[in-house]
A and B are shown apart, each in its own frame.
Chain A
Amino acid sequence: MNRIVVSAILVLLLMLFLTRIDFGGDGHVMAESMMALGFTLVVAYLAGKMIERFKLPKITGYLIAGILIGPYFLNLLSVEVVKNLQLIDNIALSLIALTAGGEFRFSAIKKQLRLINSAIFWQIIIVILLFTAFVLAYFKKISFLQNESFLVILGAGMLFGALSIAKSPATTIAVIAETRAKGPFTDFVLGVTVFKDVVVVIIFSIIIAFAKPMIMREEQIQLIYVLNVFIEIILSMIFGIAAGGIILLYLKYIKEQKVLFLLGFIIFCIEISHIFQLEVILIFMVAGIFVQNFSRAGQPLIEAIEEVSLPIFVTFFAIAGASLKLPVFLENWKLALYLVTLRLIGTYLGTNIAGRVNRSGDQIKKYGWMGFVGQAGLTLGLATLTLKQIPGPIGIGISTLIISSITLNQIIGPVLFKFSLHKSGEVRANN
């Protein structure tokens, strides 16, 4: 372990020295981005190894390393470099979604289907109600809502709720992959994560369709927006099945160079999804589910992904850490803390009620909620969409507060989830 610490410090010092040499000129950012990518990969991974010693998940180490080397702390990765490196986000998310789908076994989920649906239902209802009530009760403490009408405050409250129900599938998958957890508790969290990802997008589109006219003082509710989202989801699912079919045929008949094939195919699907405005995450989740449940190629698929997933996970989470907006968080930390607490309470209540209604085991009632705390890309994407749909101070205010709370949720989320997996006794890796 000492070697890892010393190596990490030495690489850090070398990078500090190198970034002090500034040449400027054309191609400089590209060169800096490349150097930064290699540096991030090594340092973040070593940070993950170090943090593992304290029984914390490695991805927390990657995230913390990202925050430390990012633009708001040591500034070894500038804002521009972070932006350049975010280009791999789509590839990383696609692989993560494929893994999520590939780990999703109907046979295992079938027994818990009622519980999963119930948990999603109660979490959504309770979180949205709690947030709306909170905003209605404390709007005077929220600067951008102080002088607004009841309808505007109600719309904002609903949006806060809609944005808070989203969770990070990437975090769930990364922690499950790291701990090699297997069992009903893991299946429950995975099931909720996969289904909720779809439900959240639908719920968000419905709520924004209602909240937008309330906040923007428009007369008409834009249901066409909801319809578009439905079409997008259905098309993404169809495309996901087709993608799964192609992966399946490849794994069955060609087999060679699986990693090269997967990377190429993912890039192809990302491009197609951009052209037809489809949901990349959904496409690959469905593709993974299809391969796992309608063939025997599920295991080879997971093995092929595992060959390449570690560097992608490390880079993805480190860059996610580096892109967390610390100044925004520091400006709004008190309100962010309220939002995080409220979300924790809502998630706990939702999961606990679902557990009681379905007479599930104590583990799900006690620790199930801990699997749904992490927040990252999806929430960030929805917050950006909010800003786009509701431009002006209220849109900015909502997205800023949500981004601030993502910082906290993403740090505590993996820790809580790993803890819950240990408590459930389903962890198989030697940590």
Chain B
Amino acid sequence: MTPFLGLLLILVTTFIGVRFFGRSTVLKAPLLSGLIMSGVPYILIGVILGPRMFNFLNDDVIIHLKPLISMAIGWVGLLFGLQLRWRNIRRFPGNYVLFTSVQSLVSFMIIFLGMGAILHFIGHPSLRSRPEAILILAALGSMTAPLSIGRIIIEKKVKGRLAHLLQFVSSLDSIWGIIIAGITMAIYHSPALRWISGQWQWILLSIIISIVIGVIFRFLFSTRFGQDETFLIVLGLIIFSSGVGFYLRLSPIFITMVVGITMAQFHRETDKVMRVLHMAEKPTYVFLLVFAGASWNFHFGEEILLIVAFIVIRFLGKYAGGWISARRIDCGFPIPRNVGKALLSFGGVSLALAFNFQLFYGGFMGDFLMSATILAILFFDEYTAVSIRHILQRQGELT
């Protein structure tokens, strides 16, 4: 199969996926709704089409379509960054940000230490010798996907302070994971250039370039453009900035997020860009899922125990993160100690980060991170479909 036909196949799947994604008729079975909403069916379609089964999307096709993945990663990063408008965040109680950060960083530390210890003693040699894999695994594990929480709140018309807090946390806590991933990829950057050799210089370069791109495009967007023109420039911005990340071997998701944050600080321009990004949000996510399934290289024997360990440790990490935050941080209302169970939802940004890692490092480590992410999506999204309802019910915000 040629790369063009491979792209066609993914486009068709994406097309069908977008048509059925989130249709209420398929969501009536409560046990299946978590799986369907998390996008597991698209991952499975990817697996069926990929080299592991029918080989329609063979390795050659997957390699040729990698720039599109980089673009989708950039899309996710920019969309996330644009949501981080300081003026909006400031409207929420200050402790919400603290709550978000503490639960995220505690989860990160627990996953990092837990997985680090396990991999040190029983892990695969290639994983044991590469701490960047563990750092990124912990970073993506510390993130919460907002999809499940958002859907329950909208569907059940939930109104309450806990629901509000959960929505805030799940929309924001990926920032720490992306920052850690960005720094990790800069620190473990190779090869060095003549004039950039130190790790801090790489970190500085990725931040400076992202801010420069953000400032230039913010300046450009202050010109009045029509909708098709805005679409063109946003597309150019995403391809360019994620291409810069790909080219410099720095994290594209980090770069586009910083670009987004820089631009987000200017109200009017951000709204125009956000509208365009939302237009392609579903196709981009479905595309990522199908591609994830196709490029999923699962080493069952070697990975399965490690993935089970990751799922257990992530559960403990998120639980502990929520527990510590709920005990220590006063958000103005009683927060259940088991709030972390409602923050286990896993998805878009984590998947993009796992892809980011696989694009750069590949090999067994890349495969392991992808497998861990895919199986964690499968498990946690089914689990959170129940746990979020349960916690909100006990809080009296959902009847």
**Which of A147-155, A266-274, A288-296, A414-422 has 4 or more CB atoms under 8 Å from chain B?**
A266-274
Q: Does A228 contact B (CB under 8 A)?
A: no
Query: Across the interface, do A21 and B193 meet the contact criterion of CB distance under 8 Å?
Result: yes
Q: Does A14 contact B (CB under 8 A)?
A: yes
Within 8 A of B (CB), among A36-65: 36-39, 41-42, 45-46
Cβ proximity bits B206-228 to A, threshold 8 Å, 1 near / 0 not: 00010011001101101100001
Known: A10-B216, A30-B67, A310-B232. A267 touches B4 (CB 8 A): yes
**Chain B interface category by residue count:** 35 or more
Known: A23-B191, A41-B236, A307-B228. A34 touches B242 (CB 8 A): yes
Query: Across the interface, do B67 and A267 meet the contact criterion of CB distance under 8 Å?
Result: no
Query: Across the interface, do B231 and A311 meet the contact criterion of CB distance under 8 Å?
Result: yes
Q: Does A6 contact B (CB under 8 A)?
A: yes
Shortest beta-carbon distance, B372 to chain A, in Å? Answer: 24
Of the candidates B12, B18, B222, B247, the one whose C-beta lies within 8 Å of that of A18 is B247
Shortest beta-carbon distance, A84 to chain B, in Å? Answer: 9
Query: Across the interface, do B240 and A267 meet the contact criterion of CB distance under 8 Å?
Result: no
Residues of chain B lying within 8 A (CB to CB) of residue A23: 191, 193, 247-249
Of the candidates B2, B11, B229, B246, the one whose C-beta lies within 8 Å of that of A260 is B11
Query: Across the interface, do B2 and A271 meet the contact criterion of CB distance under 8 Å?
Result: yes
Task: State A380–B7 Cα separation when bound (angstroms).
Answer: 27
Shortest beta-carbon distance, A267 to chain B, in Å? Answer: 4
Q: Does A405 contact B (CB under 8 A)?
A: no
Shortest beta-carbon distance, B244 to chain A, in Å? Answer: 5
Known: A30-B67, A34-B246, A311-B232. A42 touches B219 (CB 8 A): no
| Majority SS at the chain A contact face | helix
Residues of chain B lying within 8 A (CB to CB) of residue A11: 216, 240
Within 8 A of A (CB), among B232-285: 232-233, 235-244, 246-249, 283
Cβ proximity bits A237-271 to B, threshold 8 Å, 1 near / 0 not: 00000000000000000001100110110011011
Look across to chain B and name the residue whose beta carbon is closest to the beta carbon of A43. Answer: B236
Within 8 A of A (CB), among B30-88: 66-67, 70-71
Q: List 27 A-B contacts (CB under 8 A).
A: A3-B222, A4-B220, A7-B217, A7-B219, A10-B219, A14-B209, A14-B212, A18-B247, A21-B248, A23-B248, A31-B246, A32-B243, A33-B67, A35-B244, A37-B239, A38-B239, A38-B240, A42-B237, A45-B229, A257-B18, A260-B18, A264-B11, A264-B12, A271-B5, A310-B228, A311-B232, A311-B235
Residues of chain A touching chain B, judged by Cβ–Cβ distance below 8 Å, are 3-4, 6-7, 10-11, 14, 18, 21, 23, 25, 27-28, 30-39, 41-42, 45-46, 256-257, 260-261, 263-264, 267-268, 270-271, 306-307, 310-311, 314
Q: A21-B248, A23-B193, A267-B5 are in contact. List 8 more A-B contacts (CB 8 A).
A: A18-B247, A30-B66, A34-B71, A38-B237, A41-B240, A42-B237, A260-B15, A263-B11
